[in-house]
Amino acid sequence: MSDEVLLRMKGTPVLVSACLLGVRCRYDGRHNLCPDLTSALASVHIIPFCPEQLGGLPTPRPPASIIHGDGSDVLDGAGQVVDAEGRAFTGAFRKGAYEALRLARMLGASLAIVKDRSPSCGIITPYCENEKGSGPGVTAALFGREGIGLLEQGRGIPFSLDGFLNLLGEGPSRSHP
């Protein structure tokens, strides 16, 4: 069944957080390689993206977190993104999110596999300041609003093909951001 679905998806563009592919774009210059992701999705057209770099931030860069809300609040102008010393990164995070969306639209991608825990890419990141103590990162929030299906993936965790099939509506239950 999964082979059939992946065959039908041949060449389908899917955005993937670049650090999950081994690109050293993390804030500390390291990566979050997910070793079996590329082989599991060999038939789809993987498009690496890093919204923090797309927003113009250097690598390495200071780690940042969201204050006064989550990524959705940042998009609405209420939340901010700051580093440990309070320096503002809000503009770069917003720019990176919109550049990533532009990339998705340009290449016709309606699915994205994103790195967990990131204040940009995470679907439920702990780097938020709200009642729940977690929420979407800035890019994940924008993608969710714009109808891009999201699957969260952690560093070094085996890639869940079932989760991907669920995202496509081909599994036992569909997942939403």
By CB under 6 A, name the binding residues for ligand SF4: 17-19, 25-26, 50-52, 115, 118, 120-121
- CB of 159 vs ligand SF4, minimal distance in Å: 15
Smallest separation (angstroms) from ligand SF4 to the CB of 76: 20
Pick the closer one to ligand SF4 by CB: 60 or 133.
Answer: 60
CB 15 within 8 A of CB 47: yes
Structure tokens at 50: 């890093």
Instruction: Give the shortest CB-105-to-ligand SF4 separation in angstroms.
Output: 18
- Rounded Cα distance between 139 and 151, Å, is 13
Which residue in the block uniquely carries the two structure tokens 């389908």? 12
User: Could you give the angle at the alpha carbon of 55 between the alpha carbons of 26 and 141, nearest 5°?
Assistant: 85
Distance of closest approach, residue 152 Cβ to ligand SF4, in angstroms: 10
Token pair 């500390």 is found at 28
Residue with smaller CB distance to ligand SF4, 22 or 163: 22
Four-point Cα dihedral 33, 81, 99, 131, nearest 10: 80
Q: Is the Cβ of residue 81 or residue 121 nearer to ligand SF4 in the bound state?
A: 121
Find the shortest distance in angstroms from Cβ 60 to ligand SF4.
10
Scan for tokens 């690109």, then name that residue. Answer: 23
- Nearest approach, Cβ of residue 24 and ligand SF4 (Å): 9
Please identify, using beta-carbon distances, which residue of 8 and 30 lies nearer to ligand SF4. Answer: 30
**What is the dihedral sign for C-alpha 101, 107, 108, 112?**
negative
Q: Given the complex with ligand SF4, which of 34 and 167 has the nearer CB atom?
A: 34
Toward ligand SF4, which CB reaches closer, 19 or 142? 19
Write the CB contacts of 50 (distance below 8 Å, at least 6 apart in sequence): 17, 18, 19, 23, 25, 96
